[in-house]
Structure formats: structure tokens, C-alpha cells
Amino acid sequence: MTQQQDTRTIIIGAGMAGILAAIKLLEQGKTNFCVYEKADRIGGTWRDNTYPGLTCDVPSHSYTYSFEPNPNWTRTMPPGAEIQAYFENVVEKYGLAPYLCFGEEVTRLDFIDGRWQLQTISGRRDEADFVVAATGVLHHPRLPNINGMERFKGELFHSARWDHSVPLDGKRIAVVGTGSTGVQIVSALASRASYLCHYQRSPQWIMPVINTPFSEEERAAWRRDPALLKRLQHDPELEANIERFSVAITEPDSEAMQQIEMIVQQNLEQSVRDPALREKLRPNYRAACKRLIYADTFYEAVQRDNVEVAIEDVTQIEETGIRSPDGELREFDIIVLATGFQADRFMRPMTITGRNGNTLENAWAQRPTAYMAVSIPDFPNLFMLNGPNGPVGNFSLIEIAEQQWHYIQQLMDKVEQGECREICASETALAQFDEARIAAAKRSIFGSGCQSWYLDAQGVPATWPWSRSHFKACMQRPDFSAYEQH
Ligand code: NA7
């Protein structure tokens, strides 16, 4: 293999990370690639989620590709539809359409004779030197197995499968779950429902936020002056806040964490007027143990007269509603399951077979893991964007994916420059990385005693456990001694 043109890359997923990979390849003059996407349009999580109130919990100018600032964001925390539109514009601007293969769910990947062989559900086949798995984290809805769910005569759906044909105004609505999704839905629907019950198995700490609208004058100024917009993307105050947050979650005893705890406690004390409701809403674990929720109108919403909060696990659904453990039946027209995602799936359910017949199921038998969050031993030339063990704590996943791409690119260069044909992390490197990662993860706030989607099947936080700046430093240049090169 000599020059870049000789290599072919398969990108899986046309969400934020897959779009990024495609743009980066084109930037290098590479056109021999295809983005396989199982749905019929781009957008990933922003395509799948369309629920009322959908908002990104990362500020808009940070949740933006560094190379494609957006002067048109309308608020500090952008609504989902605006983010979807942003990605669609980017895809058009960069001319990605010819590289997108929609309706092609990848079902198999086999590493044979130094190349990846791909098969899709429609029977399409392809072959490439590299695979970039950009399959997303929050993709497969978690549907709880609640007794009697199938007997419900009203409308019932998962938050990521919103049925927009169902009228909401004046209806009796149950929202099950109090992650970011449940909180946003309740905030949006409280004033529209005739009665809304929010089922919270575990109440959440709420970080107050002001979702400021940007004025047309501001947006016009950003359009006129790209330097102004660039500065906004790298706003030192915002950067300092993110760094403080990064310190807080990795050092639970830090002053930064104490400050977060103080703010969320004050928010609860000052925002919830009825002492009984306040106690109901008080979590019994530390702030940010679960992904911290940023919300502006949630506490107001749950204090409305037509809104009730039920602190319980939903275990019994009947024809007309939800039966509580104490026997009370609440009747509903609509039940929304905001019950989260199977965050440990990543590329699965694809069947992936690497070197020596090793399957991904086998490699991940204990837990999904990857050296530096991008490479798995025995799976050469296959790299992940936003794979397991990457930073996910209220950071911009776009920023993370860009840093990961910078790193992955250097691994691909080794092959393209003819230094090797296959490259992947060594078993030893992954084992050492995992040992250190797991030890640090247990000490992070995510390991401080709560249930959350950050935890793996063994109850260990699956996230990057060190600081955001350390991640950035690691992504600058691979330590090639951690890689097997053939
Ligand atoms: P999350 O954050 O995983 O939240 C799921 C919620 O669903 C959580 O409150 C669960 O309670 C609750 N849940 C699950 N099953 C039940 C039953 N049977 N009864 C009551 N409650 C239940 O998912 P989201 O979609 O809100 O957010 C995911 C991420 O998307 C979010 O962090 C942002 O990054 C964007 P539990 O806490 O387990 O007691």
C-alpha cells in the first residue's frame, strides 16, 4: 500500500461523528469511502429523538464542529430540531450526499486477509482497509419489561420513538423516567396536559440554567464577523466552567464538586415551595453521580396543580393506566417511556469478527472496552468514534469526536504510509489502560453510589475517568508502543 488513494474506508453511522469522519476524509482529498446508515436520513440521535422539549444540554456554540461555527443558533441550549437542521446543512455544504448509503444496516464485518468485509441487511457487500464505527451511544431504546404493558388501551411509546400523530393537548399523560429526557418532556408538556404524572424511580439533582435566546442583532453580528463567532466557541468563561466540571466529576471531594452540590441543593430549597414535595424530589445520592441535569422550568412544571410526582418504580400497567404498588390506579391516555437507552451496545448487534476468529461479543464478554476509547486488540484498522470509555460527562461529544479523529488519523497514516498493513492496540496496552481506568472510574463521582447509564454491567463507570484536558493531551499523538503493527 503506498498512497492514500489506495485505501478504502467504511464509516458506519451518519450521525454527528460519521459526518465528521466523512468531512475529514474529504479534507484530505480522500474520496474512496462510504457512510453506511441504516435509517433513511442523517442525524443519529437528533434524527431519532423528536420529543417535545428536546434540547441539547451542552451550549450551542460548543455543540458545533470547530470548523463549522454556526451564527444562526437561536438559544444557549439549542432545540433538537435546530441541531438536526445544522447537521443537514453541514452535509449539504460539504457535498456528502454521494457518499451516504441510506437504508443499509451493517450486519456483519469480517477481517479477512487484511481487509474488512462488510455485509448489510439488504445483502450488499463491500470491502475496505479501514472501518470507522460512528454508531452512537444513546441509540438503542431501553424498554422496561413492565407487567401488562401490552394491555394498555391508550398510546404508549418510548421517548425516542415519539408518535407525532397522537394529540397531547388536554390529555392525561404519564411520563416514566427522570433522566434529561423525562425532565425535558415534563417541562414541555405540563402546561399542555390536563393531568400529568411524572414517575420518578430516583429523583434527580437539577442544575438551574438560563436558556437565553439570542437576538437577531447578535446573530447578524456573528454572521458579519466570523472572528466573533470563533471567540464565542472558545469563550474562556465557558472553557473554565467545563474544566471545573471536569475536575468535579473526577475528584468528588474537590471544591468544584462542593460548589455543584451547593448550587443544586439551593435550587431544590429555593424552587420547590411545598416541603413535602421538596423531600419527595430530594435525591439520596450525590450530585452528578447520574449525568447532571440542566433544566430551567422543571421545578415550576412539577409544582403545577395538574402535575403529580410519583416516586416509584413502574411495575404494573393495566388497560387504562398505571397501578402503583400501594394499589392506586392512575388513568392515562398516553404513557411515555423516557426510560433511556442501552448505552453498552455501541456497534452491536452487528456480528464483528476480527483477527484469529475473535468476535466482538467475545472481546467484550466482560464489558465493552477499547484502548484510549478507540481501538480493540485483534480488530485491526477498526476505530471507534464515541466508543466505550470516552468522556461523556456533560461535555460536547462533537469536541470529543474531533479529538478522537485527530488521533485515529495518525493510526491510519501508519498504514497509508506503508509502515504496516494492520494496526490495533495490543492486549497488554488495553489491559494496563483498563486497570488504571477502572481504578480511577471507581473513585469518580459516577462511582459514588447510584444507578445510571454510565455504569457497566459490573457497576463500574464506563466513562473516561480522568480530566478533560488529560483526554485532550492523550488524543494529541498516539503512543505507538501501545499498538501492534503488522
Ligand atoms: P436516562 O438518563 O437513562 O434515564 C432513564 C430514566 O428512566 C431513569 O430515571 C430511570 O430511573 C427511569 N426508569 C427506567 N425504568 C423505569 C421503571 N420501570 N420505572 C420508573 N422509572 C424507570 O435516559 P434519558 O433518555 O433521560 O437520558 C439519556 C441521556 O440522553 C442523557 O443523559 C443525556 O445525555 C441525553 P433510575 O434512575 O434508573 O432509577
**pLDDT of 267-277, one tens digit each?**
999 999 999 99
Task: Give yes or no for residue 44 having a pLDDT over 90.
Answer: yes
pLDDT, tens digit (0-9, with 9 covering 90-100), for 408-439: 999 999 999 999 999 999 999 999 999 999 99
Contacts of 138 (CB under 8 A, 6+ apart): 45, 340, 341, 343, 453
Contacts of 393 (CB under 8 A, 6+ apart): 245, 246, 249, 288, 291, 292, 446, 454, 463
For position 1, what pLDDT does the model report? 43
338 lines ligand 1 (CB under 6 A): yes
DSSP secondary structure of 103-172: T--EEEEEEETTEEEEEETTS-EEEESEEEE---SS-SB-----BTGGG--SEEEEGGG--TTS--TT-E
For position 238, what pLDDT does the model report? 86
3-state secondary structure of 141: strand
394 lines ligand 1 (CB under 6 A): no
8-state DSSP, 5: G
Q: Tell me the percentage of the chain whose pLDDT exceeds 90.
A: 94
Mean pLDDT for the chain overall: 96
- What confidence tier does 3 reach under pLDDT thresholds 50, 70, 90? very low
Task: Give yes or no for residue 11 having a pLDDT over 60.
Answer: yes
User: Are the C-beta atoms of 234 and 241 separated by less than 8 Å?
Assistant: no
pLDDT, tens digit (0-9, with 9 covering 90-100), for 433-461: 999 999 999 999 999 999 999 999 999 99
d(CA 294, CA 4): 44
Task: Give yes or no for residue 243 having a pLDDT over 70.
Answer: yes
Among residues 200, 180, 232, the alpha carbon closest in space to that of 69 is found at 232
* For range 379-407, the mean pLDDT: 93
For position 342, what pLDDT does the model report? 94
Task: Give yes or no for residue 4 having a pLDDT over 60.
Answer: no
For position 2, what pLDDT does the model report? 42
313 lines ligand 1 (CB under 6 A): yes
For position 381, what pLDDT does the model report? 98
53 lines ligand 1 (CB under 6 A): no
* For range 140-159, the mean pLDDT: 96
Q: Tell me the percentage of the chain whose pLDDT exceeds 70.
A: 99
pLDDT, tens digit (0-9, with 9 covering 90-100), for 307-349: 999 999 999 999 999 999 999 999 999 999 999 999 999 999 9
For position 65, what pLDDT does the model report? 97
For position 85, what pLDDT does the model report? 98
- What confidence tier does 115 reach under pLDDT thresholds 50, 70, 90? very high
- Ligand 1 centroid – CA 341 distance (Å): 8
340 lines ligand 1 (CB under 6 A): yes
For position 235, what pLDDT does the model report? 87
Residue identifier of the C-alpha nearest atom 28 of ligand 1: 340
- Ligand 1 centroid – CA 203 distance (Å): 10
User: Are the C-beta atoms of 425 and 483 separated by less than 8 Å?
Assistant: yes
DSSP secondary structure of 207-245: EE---PBPPHHHHHHHHH-HHHHHHHHT-HHHHHHHHHH
- Ligand 1 centroid – CA 164 distance (Å): 21
d(CA 446, CA 453): 10
3-state secondary structure of 39: coil
For position 198, what pLDDT does the model report? 98
339 lines ligand 1 (CB under 6 A): yes
397 lines ligand 1 (CB under 6 A): no
Sign, CA dihedral 80-289-457-347, equals positive
* For range 102-121, the mean pLDDT: 97
Give the containing element (helix H, strand E) for 321: strand 321-323
User: Are the C-beta atoms of 425 and 312 separated by less than 8 Å?
Assistant: no
201 lines ligand 1 (CB under 6 A): yes
For position 5, what pLDDT does the model report? 47
For position 212, what pLDDT does the model report? 92
The DSSP bridge pattern shows strands 329-331 and 321-323 to be antiparallel
Query: Nearest-5° angle of CA 423, CA 427, CA 429?
Result: 85
For cell 411509546, the residue is 157
- Among 63, 178, 335, 400, name the best residue to mutate to test ligand 1's pocket (greatest count of ligand atoms within 8 A of Cβ): 178
- Ligand 1 centroid – CA 126 distance (Å): 37
463 lines ligand 1 (CB under 6 A): no
- What confidence tier does 234 reach under pLDDT thresholds 50, 70, 90? confident
407 lines ligand 1 (CB under 6 A): no
For position 440, what pLDDT does the model report? 96
User: Are the C-beta atoms of 129 and 115 separated by less than 8 Å?
Assistant: yes
